[in-house]
A and B are shown apart, each in its own frame.
Chain A
């Protein structure tokens, strides 16, 4: 099962490197396009920061763990955002308020679950202080704890929880109150770092330098949270117990199985909500749209807008097995009756369910021309070429426009007799604005056929729309006319494909890519390319990289990246069932 460790340097990453003179970019690339291909002879996992559950992951996990669908995390403090995502390990912090919310949620969940748990410890009903009860509670801690912590517990861990149970039975309303003991035990588990975080220590023995494979249990959790946004299922736990998540092929087989599950569709939805800003569509309600200019606007449209793009991406990726290019060029969308009426689609769906609707391919292409994103990247009273252009640059091309001056000069007054384009041309006449706006506006002008609600228009203020635009500093440079042509151009861009990989990397691994990740990105990109840029293939590829399967051992001094040592003493449970997978695979 030797894997090729030497990979061709994907062309998409080269393009990225070539424009780093202007834009914030992948660290560690050479400035010229002649960069030599990295050899990737050594395993390089990059960083493996401790990851905390997001609110969605918490609620999903509680539901799978206890059948409790109350979704208490909806009331938690929102995650700190970084790189546009809410699951970035470095950004997430726990304030006293959040710690209180964890406590209150754990108390509520435990109150609802304690009765059921008591059913599994019948001896405790008779005599909570007795030996029989103690044995049953120990067994319960071991079996429930393994699912809650997503790994077997060590003997001393079990003993500590049993001790808490015994302390708890004395603190209940009645003497020897077993249900209070169980409730406290559960509360403590649900506030434990082993529940709230994904603790990963890796296998005790490195396979190369200080690099060790993750344990099978750790891989199981990485898979389940990446592809499902929740804890591992029975099959993953069984595979972990058998040590059957050690090889790339075993992991791939699980990933493919998991992608067939509806939970994968939810997780992919979660990615798009954040990457494209779909979750922000309902924030349009804060500003609304100018009722005089857009009397058709109502807040109730916003969830439909969001649902359209989510349903489109879901249909394309999971029903059509779409490639990146199809997401940009598909001449159809998903609508229900109400939305079809908004768009003015004739003969569209008759009910509330979203159905596939074929569209005029000269007016619409893929997600970039859908009403939600066009409304989001617009003003209450007009389109916004700046925001639309920035969306393309920043989210789709992964380029960071240079900063405007720190103190912004007052823009010229708006003239309602002119088109939006003409007004923005005035803005760019100021040399202080021009440096930034020439990178944004010429792309954004391509969307001028869509008003602030994303509806097609041939004219604005009585003047025919000019939607010509220009791409610069990309691998698809040149003039274009309208967003449909732009979308087709983006569909063929290596830079866009590399950006999709990068965005999935950030979301999937909970961190920014760094120079140490060059080979992991190359591994994923190569598989992506081989599949014809198929999105599901990319998801599988994300489970095959060095970054996904390995970590650096933590040394006794508390530094990841040093030599092994700190790990040797502990983790009796964490490593149980894990086989030294990487060692079995053989490195060149």
Chain B
């Protein structure tokens, strides 16, 4: 794979959040040389497959179940979709809405309902004991295993510049309610909240001349080799717990070192630095719609440029008290307390529905964005599956029948355009197995095997 690099001058225009008026490739004057990788490598001509991608979207505080579930098992013209899913109408045929799948592993173990719902949504096993404050006192620790996105990344993310990309919108702090992705037990991966910082991380190292990039990689390798040696040497002299701590740090250092030579390897002609609207405050609730767009633009571009094949976007913390007042003047209360007030009151039901619809709109935006990125004879979306998960089913901690939605068939793996209910309630471990299999991972179990009986039935045919 040829590293994709930009001239310094061009890069300056693209950095610091300044908007790039022209598509990336054109600005760099290299649109011919770096036409889609499919043409360069002849992968399409050879009939080889494009990379599969996996995306997680996490939203908190449950949904409004009576306004969520489709009216029919076949999603054909969009009329079957519920008020909450209506924003996904244009992508009706790409959806798999999953009924009777429950977060069984989140009904057991330490922690309060939010800590469990969030910490196990991608790990599917009980939380560790710990001392995070929550409604269950200081009882909950981090999640107790690798998350499904990371397990997938271990299989499909090994050759890209980034193993995976964790993005957030208004996720604050570093407690269990602020993390969904885990490299392993008690190894949470923090999301990046600022699109500007994420932009620099994704694209800035690529914005220097090839010679300068090579020099920089060599320098970094020299430093990181020395740093890694220091960690190894010290590790041997410490107690077990401290050894483990340094092992985690060392793994991160070695991960960076192993990816120094990786660059952009666009599989889509759309690979171009996204245009970032400048000066959006990443800490303001009012900026949420704009921030979401920027994060999703970056995520889509990272996929199209093959900087990574696994990405997640976490919307706010678990049990967020943020008041999403940008959705209307009637929203004057935090999402979490409002969710607890339930949907018996029609006005509150309306407000909660508005929030859930907003999230559906964001999923729709990402789908449309990926569809707009050509790849081979189709689009980047064709080789992707988006997994929309929630910490709970409703605002009062229900963990049965979580409103799970998949979008995209992952290169023909899933048979979409349907609302598939499992005949008997199953743990969402099964859903995570289905996703692993869709990404080409050969496994029959994930998370706590107690809650896992293999993949979901009826998704692939």
Q: Which residues of A contact B (CB under 8 A)?
A: 24, 49-50, 75, 77-84, 86, 89-100, 103, 106, 160-161, 164, 167-168, 171, 173, 180, 184, 187-188, 191-194, 197, 199, 201, 283, 286-288, 290, 379-381, 394, 400-404, 406-411, 413, 512, 554, 558-561, 566-567, 570-571
16 additional A-B residue pairs with CB within 8 Å, beyond A103-B256, A164-B223, A193-B231: A93-B248, A96-B189, A97-B192, A164-B222, A168-B222, A188-B226, A193-B246, A197-B246, A286-B322, A287-B322, A380-B323, A400-B137, A402-B137, A409-B396, A554-B238, A560-B240
A95 touches which one: B135, B222, B252, B325 (CB < 8 A)? B252
Q: Which residues of B contact A93 (CB under 8 A)?
A: 186-188, 245, 248
| Shortest distance from the beta carbon of A564 to any chain B beta carbon, whole Å | 12
Residue pair A380, B237 in contact (C-beta under 8 Å): no
Residue pair A407, B397 in contact (C-beta under 8 Å): yes
Residue pair B190, A77 in contact (C-beta under 8 Å): yes
Q: Which residues of A contact B131 (CB under 8 A)?
A: 82-83, 512
Q: Which residues of A contact B166 (CB under 8 A)?
A: 97
Residue pair A173, B323 in contact (C-beta under 8 Å): no
Q: Which residues of B contact A286 (CB under 8 A)?
A: 170, 285, 321-323
**B442 interface residue (CB < 8 Å to A):** no
A98 touches which one: B234, B252, B397 (CB < 8 A)? B252
Nearest A residue to B399, CB-CB:
A407
| Shortest distance from the beta carbon of B227 to any chain A beta carbon, whole Å | 5
Q: Which residues of A contact B173 (CB under 8 A)?
A: 78, 81
| Shortest distance from the beta carbon of A383 to any chain B beta carbon, whole Å | 14
Residue pair A97, B342 in contact (C-beta under 8 Å): no
Which 8 pairs from chain A and chain B are nearest by CB?
A560-B239, A99-B252, A403-B136, A400-B137, A50-B242, A94-B249, A80-B174, A410-B342
| Shortest distance from the beta carbon of A266 to any chain B beta carbon, whole Å | 22
In the assembly, what is the distance between CA of A106 and CA of B229, in Å? Answer: 17
**B350 interface residue (CB < 8 Å to A):** no
Q: Which residues of A contact B337 (CB under 8 A)?
A: 379
15 sampled A-B residue pairs with Cβ under 8 A: A49-B241, A79-B174, A90-B241, A93-B186, A94-B249, A96-B255, A99-B252, A161-B226, A286-B321, A287-B322, A402-B137, A406-B397, A408-B113, A560-B239, A571-B237
In the assembly, what is the distance between CA of A381 and CA of B285, in Å? Answer: 18
A411 touches which one: B138, B172, B341, B398 (CB < 8 A)? B341
In the assembly, what is the distance between CA of A287 and CA of B317, in Å? Answer: 14
User: What mask results when residues 190 to 203 of chain B are scored 1 for a CB within 8 Å of chain A, else 0?
Assistant: 10100001000100
Q: Which residues of B contact A394 (CB under 8 A)?
A: 133
In the assembly, what is the distance between CA of A160 and CA of B136, in Å? Answer: 50
From B8-16, B212-220, B268-276, B415-423, give the one contacting chain A.
B212-220
Residue pair A194, B175 in contact (C-beta under 8 Å): no
Nearest B residue to A288, CB-CB:
B323
| Shortest distance from the beta carbon of A412 to any chain B beta carbon, whole Å | 10
Residue pair B344, A410 in contact (C-beta under 8 Å): yes
Q: Which residues of A contact B229 (CB under 8 A)?
A: 160
| Shortest distance from the beta carbon of A154 to any chain B beta carbon, whole Å | 11
User: What mask results when residues 390 to 428 of chain B are scored 1 for a CB within 8 Å of chain A, else 0?
Assistant: 000000111000000000000000000000000000000
Residue pair A404, B253 in contact (C-beta under 8 Å): no
How big is the B interface, by class?
35 or more
**B107 interface residue (CB < 8 Å to A):** yes
Residue pair B321, A84 in contact (C-beta under 8 Å): no
Q: Which residues of B contact A50 (CB under 8 A)?
A: 238, 242, 245-246
User: What mask results when residues 316 to 333 of chain B are scored 1 for a CB within 8 Å of chain A, else 0?
Assistant: 000001110100000011
In the assembly, what is the distance between CA of A410 and CA of B337, in Å? Answer: 11
| Shortest distance from the beta carbon of A108 to any chain B beta carbon, whole Å | 12
Residue pair A191, B223 in contact (C-beta under 8 Å): yes
In the assembly, what is the distance between CA of A304 and CA of B14, in Å? Answer: 38
Q: Which residues of B contact A161 (CB under 8 A)?
A: 226
User: What mask results when residues 104 to 115 of chain B are scored 1 for a CB within 8 Å of chain A, else 0?
Assistant: 000100001100
Residue pair B220, A290 in contact (C-beta under 8 Å): no
Residue pair B237, A403 in contact (C-beta under 8 Å): no
In the assembly, what is the distance between CA of A335 and CA of B276, in Å? Answer: 41
A193 touches which one: B186, B219, B230, B333 (CB < 8 A)? B230
